[in-house]
Every structure is written in C-alpha cells, then in structure tokens.
Amino acid sequence: MRCQTILVTGASGLLGYALTNRLRREADVLPLGFRHAAPETRILDLADPGALAVLDDLRWDALVHCAAFRSPDYCEQHREAARHLNAIVPARLAELARRRGARMIHVSTDYVFPGTQPPYREDDPCRPVNYYGVTKREAECGVAAAYPEAVILRIGALYGAPDVHMGSPLLEEALRALWAPPPVEVDDRVMRYPLFVEDVAEVAAFLLGRDDAGGVVHCGAPLGVTRLGWARLVAGYLGAGSDGLVPTANRSALSALRPLNSQLAVDRLRAMGGPLPRGADGVLPGVLAGCGDWIRSLHGKVTAK
Ligand SMILES: NC(=O)c1ccc[n+]([C@@H]2O[C@H](COP(=O)([O-])OP(=O)(O)OC[C@H]3O[C@@H](n4cnc5c(N)ncnc54)[C@H](OP(=O)(O)O)[C@@H]3O)[C@@H](O)[C@H]2O)c1
C-alpha cells in the first residue's frame, strides 16, 4: 500500500472499527468517531460546519469514509439530518481529498438498487426504495462529481465478530429471535447477503493499493438468506433449536421499505484480482466459536429483563 496515513471516519462503528484494525497493519491510521468511544478514536462531528477545516489541518494521504446514518428506519424519520450526513458531507470530503491528491474510498450500499432484478453490476441503474438509499445514492453522485478518481465501494448487510468494543447487530438480531418465547415471526421475504466486515476491510486495503480502482466497485457475499434463514443458520452452528421461528412476509408498518433482493455482482473486483468476500457458511462457524463469552453475556441481559 502506498498510503502513509489513512483517515477512517466512522471508526467507532462496525465497519470503521474493523477497517482501522486491518489498515494499521500497513499504515498509520487516524480513526474518527463521534458519540461512541472506540480505542484511540478522535471525536469529531462531521455534520458540524467546522469539521472540514479540522480535517484539512491534519496530515493524511488517504481517506476511507464510513460514517453515516445507516438505519433505513432512522433515515426515514430524520430526513434532514440523514441527507446532511449521508449525502452532503461525503461530497465535501471528496472535494477535500481531491484537493490534496489523497486516495479516497467512500462506502455505499446495495440499497441504491430497487432489488427486483438481481444480481446488480456496477453500472446497473439505481432506484432506491427508501430514503436511506436515496441519501446514499445522492452521496455517490456527489463524490463522483467532486472526485472522479474516488472509489465508491458498495457493500451488503454487515456482520462482525463481536468483541469487548464492538457488537454485531446481525448476530444479535438472530440470537434474540432464537431466545424469544415462541412463536416468533421472522421475515422470510427480503433476501440479504451477510458480509463479514473483515472481508470488506481486506477489499478496502486492496483497493487503496490500486491506481485503477476509481469509480464504483461492488463488494458482496455469495450466500443469500432471509432473516429467517440467517437465524436458522446461526441456530444450526450453535446446535440450538429454531422450531419456534415462524416465517412471515409481513412488514412492520413502522419500518422503511427494503429492496427485496439487492445482491451485488462482484465481477469488477474479481477482474481486478481482488479478495472476494466469503459466504456466511464459510465464516460463521469460526465467528460463533470465538464469541462464546459475548453470547453468554447477551443471553444474561436478555433473560434478566
Ligand atoms: N451495516 C450494514 O449492514 C451496512 C450495509 C451497507 C452499507 N453500509 C454502510 O457502511 C458504512 C458503515 O456502516 P456501519 O455498519 O459501520 O455503521 P455504524 O456501525 O452505525 O457506524 C456509523 C459510524 O458513523 C459515525 N457517525 C454518526 N454520526 C456522525 C457524525 N455526525 N459525525 C461523525 N461520525 C458520525 C458513528 O460514530 P459514533 O457511533 O461515535 O457516533 C459511527 O462510527 C456506512 O456508510 C453505511 O451506510 C452498512
């Protein structure tokens, strides 16, 4: 990798935390967070008008921008704040990165697609079905206009290996369903392709070392599951029962619409010789075997209520 100092925004979040740990093997990393403390993270509100001047005063030659409001339900209900952080800030950061000739990876999402004709390639038309996707698509356009050489890395639903600093919402969701009193209705309609966060970090490290990576790059995992399929997969690897789970296709009236199947085709990453993300069947057994303490602690909290 030719970068010396990499600024990672959202380093107190699931992806930024994994990226910080991975990129530190090859470069200095300046991790930025906001409301939550992660180890050695510098606190900066990127939505603050003065934030860019602060960043401009720091020494860095690469930027991986992960910070965002990533909950579709939150974005639906807080549109102004969501548009500012998710769409306006990335374009400004891209301008800053271009001016100093720094490499940039902007993290985007499979939710820019409508989910009706998977798998999606990088140049397929975008048509988000929820406001989160709208903001992320606006960001892609703003980043590309400000800095055409920037990488726009589209990723799917993330899970990680939980540790003392970081949980894993996708794993937690499955475990809570498995531990809830039956019957538990779980969505069996919307397909997701759970992506191990450390696989994304490998891809980002690879892309930071390439001169020809500019533009959109897809990073998606090959195994698709619904929420129900995911919970059953987790149960299977834990040797737990999942008979209490009941398939449903009903969407909560309060939640934002999700694309039905926004699988990302990874042909460009493959053609570049990049590391391809693994399916959850190849990763989950090891992750679950390594997080027994976290599972027991979560179980204690859930059953104490
Ligand atoms: N998670 C997924 O399944 C998924 C799927 C597709 C794409 N993505 C994209 O991947 C990226 C990373 O997602 P993630 O799952 O790591 O999200 P996350 O765990 O929710 O973390 C979000 C990060 O953004 C930071 N942040 C929020 N408001 C901020 C502000 N005003 N100023 C500075 N930082 C702020 C948070 O800092 P504090 O917590 O310290 O406030 C946190 O570090 C996002 O761009 C998201 O859209 C995620």
Ligand 1 pocket, Cβ-based, cut-off 6 angstroms: 9-10, 12-16, 33-36, 45-47, 66-68, 70, 85, 107, 109, 136, 155, 157-158
Pick the closest to residue 233 from 289, 273, 285 (CA basis): 285
The number of helices, as runs of H, and strands, as runs of E, in the chain is 12, 11
Residue of the CA atom closest to atom 47 of ligand 1: 70
Q: Stretch 226-235: mean pLDDT, rounded?
A: 98
Please give the pLDDT value at position 254: 63
Please give the pLDDT value at position 147: 98
The tokens describing 177, both together, are 């369903």
Pick the closest to residue 123 from 6, 218, 238, 250 (CA basis): 218
In which band, very low, low, confident or very high, does the pLDDT at 79 lie, cut at 50, 70 and 90? very high
Of 132, 147, 159, 193, catalytic: 132
Ligand 1 centroid–CA 183 distance in Å is 33
* CB-based contact 232:80 (threshold 8 Å): no
> What is the rounded distance in angstroms from the CA atom of residue 191 to the CA atom of residue 283?
19
Pairing of strands 184-187, 158-159: unpaired
Ligand 1 centroid–CA 10 distance in Å is 5
The structure's pTM equals 0.98
The tokens describing 264, both together, are 């990302």
Q: Is the dihedral of CA 224, 230, 235, 238 positive or negative?
A: positive
Please give the pLDDT value at position 253: 64
131: annotated active-site residue: no
Atom of ligand 1 nearest to the CA of 46: 32
SS3 track for 58-74 = CCCCEEEECCCCCCHHH
> What is the rounded distance in angstroms from the CA atom of residue 232 to the CA atom of residue 225?
10
Q: How far is CA 161 from CA 31, 158, 218, in A?
A: 19, 10, 22
Q: Distance from CA of residue 91 to its chain's centroid?
A: 19
Q: Ligand 1, residues 9, 14, 52: which to mutate, most atoms within 8 A of Cβ?
A: 14
Which residues lie across from 218 on neighbouring strands? 154
Could you give the count of Cα atoms lying within 13 Å of 166 in the half-sphere of its Cβ? 23
Pick the closest to residue 93 from 30, 143, 132, 149 (CA basis): 143
Summarised one tens digit per residue, pLDDT across range 1-19 is 789 999 999 999 999 999 9
Q: What is the radius of gyration, based on Cα positions, of the chain?
A: 19
Atom of ligand 1 nearest to the CA of 110: 6
Q: Ligand 1, residues 34, 74, 86, 230: which to mutate, most atoms within 8 A of Cβ?
A: 34
Summarised one tens digit per residue, pLDDT across range 118-168 is 999 999 999 999 999 999 999 999 999 999 999 999 999 999 999 988 999
